[in-house]
Amino acid sequence: MQDNSAKKSQLSHLNAQGEVQMVDVSEKGVTAREAVAAGQIKMQASTLTAIEAGNAPKGDVITTAKLAGVMAAKQTAHLIPLCHPLPLHKINVEITPDEALPGYHIQATVKTNAETGVEMEALTAVSVAALTLYDMAKALEKTMEIGSIRLVKKSSLVLGDG
C-alpha cells in the first residue's frame, strides 16, 4: 500500500531517475472525456466595432479564429512534447463579443473516447483562437491583451462493454 501512495505522489511526467517521460496510459480503459477551456482578448472599443462590422483589413476575423482553434486542438500533440496524440471526436470553438470588456470571450469544448483527457487540446484551441484574433486585427490595434486562459471543466465517463 505504501508503494501506491509513493507512486501517486511522484510527478507523472518524470521517471524514477527524474527524467522527462510521456505518461504510460496503456493500462487505463477507454473513457468518454470532455474538457472546456476559456479565455479572452481585450481590445479598444473601436477595434471590436470594426471586427463586428466586418471591417478588419484581413477579412473574416471570427471565422478564421474559430477554424484556427479547431486546427490547433488537432495539432496539440505536435506542439506540447508529452501530450498523447488523441482521436478527437468533437471540437467546438465559440467566440462571443463583449462590449463591456471590450473584446471577446473564447470557449473551446473538446471531446474524445480515449485513455487520457483532452484538457490540453481545449486550452490549445483557446490560445490559438486568441492569437489568431490578435493576428487578424493587429492592423487595427497592437495593444490587444490576451488573458484568463484556463480550464473551466473536465469530465470523464467510463464506457460500457457494448
Q: What gap in Å lies between CA 135 and CA 153, rounded to an integer?
A: 28
Please report the sign of the dihedral spanned by the C-alpha atoms of residue 28, residue 15, residue 8, residue 126.
negative
DSSP H or E run through 5: helix 2-9
Task: Please list the active-site residues.
Answer: 135
Residue spans of alpha helices (H) in 75-118: 76-79
> CA-CA distance, 118 to 104, in Å (whole number)?
23
Alpha carbon distance 113, 135 (integer Å):
33
Separate counts of helices (H) and strands (E) for the chain: 5, 4
Q: Kindly give, in sequence order, each residue whose CB lies less than 8 Å from that of residue 26, ignoring residues fewer than 6 positions away.
A: 115
